[in-house]
Amino acid sequence: MRNRIFYLIITAVLSLIMVMGIYEFSKSPKLPENGFVRIFPPHVLSEFKIMPITNNTNLIGYVGDDIYMHNAGISMAYSVYSTTDHETRSIPINLLYKGKIAWKLLKMKVCDSGIFMAEGISPNIFFTPFSSQSLKRIAGVYPGFMNLYPIDSTCVILKTYDPEKQQSILLKYNLHSNKVINSPGLLKKQVDGIFCTEGDLVYDPMYKRFIYLYRYRNEFFTMNTDLQLLGTGHTIDNIQNVRIAVGSYKRNNQVKTTLSSPNKVVNVRGQVSRNNLFVQSAIRASNEMPRTFQNNTVVDIYSLQSNTYLYSFYIPEYKDQNVRDFIIIADYLVVLYEDHLIRYSMNLL
Amino acid sequence: METFQHIKLRNLIFEVSCMIFILLFAYAAVSKLLEFDKFRIQLTQSPVLTSLADILVWVIPILEILIALALFTTHYRLIAMYLSFSLMLMFTAYILIILNLSPYIPCSCGGILEKLNWKAHLVFNMILLMISILSILIYPKFHPPISRNQNKPKYYRDEEGDTENLEKSRYN
């Protein structure tokens, strides 16, 4: 009897040491090179509602509970999807400008005060408040830009090329006074200055700040609307340095620059909601099955308070269609598929 | 005073516990292997086991099957009962970690005992843990060949290791 009690105690101690060992290991797992682990709490997405939409629709932003969409094929209208009512309505707009426009590059963006339509080649910026339906050209546009991100009807953030620094930069531009607030140190060049600094600029209307999420490296930073850096953070994968190579070739006496390596995207797109950053990642974690990763879209959530990783969840495919874009409003995750819009209810921890 | 009836009763209790554990482990292992992908996803969802999911997805059902098989044999059943105790203790400790130390509680849907929540699972494990401890403590040191050959003398090894012929002993 005494022997058995002794053996039982030894067995119990060894078992508990093993479980505690596993628990300790789970906090700092040893992983293969470039390995990382995602945490998947269950039931993040619960019920969903489906809304059929036309092909080639893009999400152009949100205001309040409404998501704005624009169809590249039907350029002179936009539609509004109400997340609370699960309904869409289409609104026609006119563009009265007769000058030169690079139509293919025209992109619509929404901010609290109205709708912007812009392209940076000609360049042209058009604006209409929600009360009106005709886009008016804004005079005195900054010469040449790649992307426009509106703050309000008078101020925008432009991503443009700085020939001196030979890289992309972000600048704040006042459309009325034509004043530029330049902040050249924000985008960090690693390879060529253009491709390596590519990324998604997300506006957080609640805290009035921007988050720039690099596309080819595991980094993001937050800044206020005057382009002052507030903080930086890293996404959970280990791709700190851009893994792309850039090559150039001559065509019609013009030097064309392009990627000359497989395109190693890290962060596909980002969204902000309630002090959390949602990042669609293209990198599989060590604890994810290749098939699950391939058939779903993984979204990682980061706290913007501490700039740390919280956990992840999957957005499933719908009718073999992949996620094209998503927006988060309150407890809803609205996902854009090829010809469907699905509103999921989210249960965050 | 140890009687032959006592030994038979101890044996009976041990046999019943063996049956309980064989049923439990066989059911648990088969249900895991039948829904292998689901089990794997459940492991990856666990905040504690996610980085070991690739190994544990095989180790746990194989261990359960081996223990269930060992519980059938006369030679290894005591060792198997120690292993059952160890496994039940590990499961219980895991549930306690999940309930108290983990950042979130994964769902207990699927797998064994689908209807139980984590607290009920904990109670269930505790009961099985008690059964395994009791079985180990009462298991007779010598397993008498009760029915095989009536002509052979039946022995019982006492605490000091001396053997007694039960049929001729004073206990009978």
The pLDDT of residue B171 is above 50: no
- Residue A289 to residue B40, Cβ atoms within 8 A: yes
Q: What value does the mean pLDDT of chain A take?
A: 86
Q: Long-range contacts of range B86-90, CB-CB < 8 Å, 24 or more positions apart?
A: B86/A11, B86/A12, B86/A14, B86/A15, B87/A15, B87/B63, B88/B125, B88/B128, B88/B129, B88/B132, B89/A11, B89/A12, B89/A15, B89/A16, B89/B129, B90/A15, B90/A16, B90/A18, B90/A19
The pLDDT of residue B151 is above 60: no
Pick A22's closest partner by Cβ from B44, B52, B139.
Answer: B52
Q: Which of A17-21, A103-107, B145-149 has the lowest mean pLDDT?
A: B145-149
Please give the tally of structural domains in chain A. Answer: 1
How far is B124 from A105, CA to CA, in rounded Å? 64
* Alpha-carbon distance B140 to nearest alpha carbon in chain A (angstroms): 10
* Alpha-carbon distance A253 to nearest alpha carbon in chain B (angstroms): 54
Q: Which of A31-45, A55-69, A222-236, A296-310 has the lowest mean pLDDT?
A: A31-45
Q: Which residues of B touch A17 (CB under 8 A)?
A: none
The pLDDT of residue B154 is above 60: no
Please give the tally of structural domains in chain B. Answer: 1
- 3-state SS, residue A306: coil
* pLDDT value, residue A184: 67
> pLDDT category, B3, cuts 50, 70, 90?
low
Q: Which is more confidently placed, A76 or B94? A: B94
> pLDDT category, A26, cuts 50, 70, 90?
confident
Range of the domain at B28: 4-140
Q: Which residues of A touch B137 (CB under 8 A)?
A: 1, 4-5, 8
Is residue A244 a part of any domain in this protein? yes
Q: Which of A53-57, B15-19, B133-137 has the lowest mean pLDDT?
A: A53-57
Is residue B161 a part of any domain in this protein? no
Q: Which residues of A touch B44 (CB under 8 A)?
A: 40, 287-289
Is residue A145 a part of any domain in this protein? no
Put simply, whether A23 touches B (Cβ < 8 Å) is yes
Is residue A252 a part of any domain in this protein? yes
pLDDT digits (tens, 9 = 90+) for A131-182: 888 888 887 777 888 888 998 888 889 888 888 888 888 888 888 888 887 7
Put simply, whether A10 touches B (Cβ < 8 Å) is no
* Alpha-carbon distance B88 to nearest alpha carbon in chain A (angstroms): 9
Q: Which residues of A touch B85 (CB under 8 A)?
A: 8, 11-12
* pLDDT value, residue B145: 47
Q: Long-range contacts of range B121-124, CB-CB < 8 Å, 24 or more positions apart?
A: B121/B95, B122/B92, B122/B95, B122/B96
- Residue A311 to residue B45, Cβ atoms within 8 A: no
* Alpha-carbon distance A233 to nearest alpha carbon in chain B (angstroms): 21
ipTM of the complex model: 0.79
Q: Which residues of A touch B101 (CB under 8 A)?
A: 23
- CB-defined contacts A:B, below 8 A: 86
**How large a percentage of chain A has pLDDT more than 90?**
24
Is residue A124 a part of any domain in this protein? no
Q: Which residues of A touch B93 (CB under 8 A)?
A: 15-16, 19-20
> pLDDT category, B156, cuts 50, 70, 90?
low
> pLDDT category, A269, cuts 50, 70, 90?
very high
- Residue A39 to residue B103, Cβ atoms within 8 A: yes
* pLDDT value, residue B141: 67
pLDDT digits (tens, 9 = 90+) for A196-208: 888 989 998 888 8
Range of the domain at A220: 188-316
Put simply, whether A96 touches B (Cβ < 8 Å) is no
Is residue A69 a part of any domain in this protein? no
Backbone phi, psi, residue A128, to 5°: -140, 135
Is residue A125 a part of any domain in this protein? no
* Alpha-carbon distance B45 to nearest alpha carbon in chain A (angstroms): 5
